[in-house]
Amino acid sequence: MKFKKAIIIGATSGIGKALAFKLAREGYALGLTGRRGGLLQELQRALIQPGVDAGGVVVSIKEMDVAKTEEAQQLFKELVAEMGEVDLVVICAGVGLSSTRPSWQIDRKVIEVNVLGFVAMMTAAAEYFCKKGNGHIVGISSVAAFLYHGSSSAYPASKAFVMNYMKGLRLKLKRIQPKIYITDIRPGYVDTPMVEHIKFKPFLITAEKAADLIYKAITKKKRSAYVPWRTGVAANFYGFLLRVWPDFFERFLK
């Protein structure tokens, strides 16, 4: 059986970190990236030590800031070269900054990471898999793409971009190389530092549970998956209400 290899972009915390342990337990060799080199090294040590969680897997790491797009693409190519070959790329890097007042600095950072950084990694992965002839790209969008919020206008907009970008790229690759799969993961509330400041978190799940659900979607090569599925029902219904009766339902958004 061929040994599986995966790269996780943004693996130092949250869903990315939990997914690293999940894929390691499933027998993947890993290439991990993140902005925080110290945390990346800690994760590598935890994964490669026999008897610790996954235990004894092969792990390569690259310190990377996806907002530095050209540099990030070069580092991605170097990581692929070090691993020899890659079957799966998961793009988890993202920020969820918010502000009660208009802020160019905050909105720019969200766009640089969630939009420009995401596209840089998606295209790098797509170009590699086009040359290879097959592969699987997983992107993390969010149910926030169906909503909007008074304190975070850039974040849901960035996730709506991510969702629609993956739809378009899927169609483009289908004509070029039909053996490349793209899966859009749409999480709801996952118990990570990104949602610590939020009081009301319906259908909250752990990062480990999210990783299990994402892995199932990967193995089934799904086009998209809500994590958990109940958040998709709720978000789509609420998004519909906001489109139909915005004047009434916007009063509940702060």
- Domain coordinates of the chain in residue numbers? 5-252
> Who contacts 69 (Cβ-Cβ below 8 Å, separation ≥6)?
116, 117, 120
User: Mean pLDDT across the chain, nearest whole number?
Assistant: 88
Which of these is catalytic: 28, 128, 155, 165? 155
pLDDT band at 3 (very low <50, low <70, confident <90, very high): low
Cβ of 81: how many Cβ atoms within 10 Å?
Answer: 10
Is 155 a catalytic site residue?
yes
Q: For residue 12, give the 3-state DSSP assignment.
A: coil
Using CA atoms, how far apart are residues 18 and 140, in angstroms rounded to an integer? 14
Task: Report CA torsion sign: 75, 77, 82, 85.
Answer: positive
- Whether residue 93 contacts residue 10, with contact meaning beta carbons closer than 8 Å, is answered with yes
What average pLDDT does this structure show over 146-171?
A: 88
Share of the chain above pLDDT 90, in %: 69
Output phi, psi for 150, to 5 deg: -65, -30
pLDDT > 80? residue 56: no
User: Is 5-252 a CATH 3.40.50.2300 domain?
Assistant: no
How far apart (Å, rounded) are the C-alpha atoms in residues 135 and 86? 8
pTM of the model: 0.89
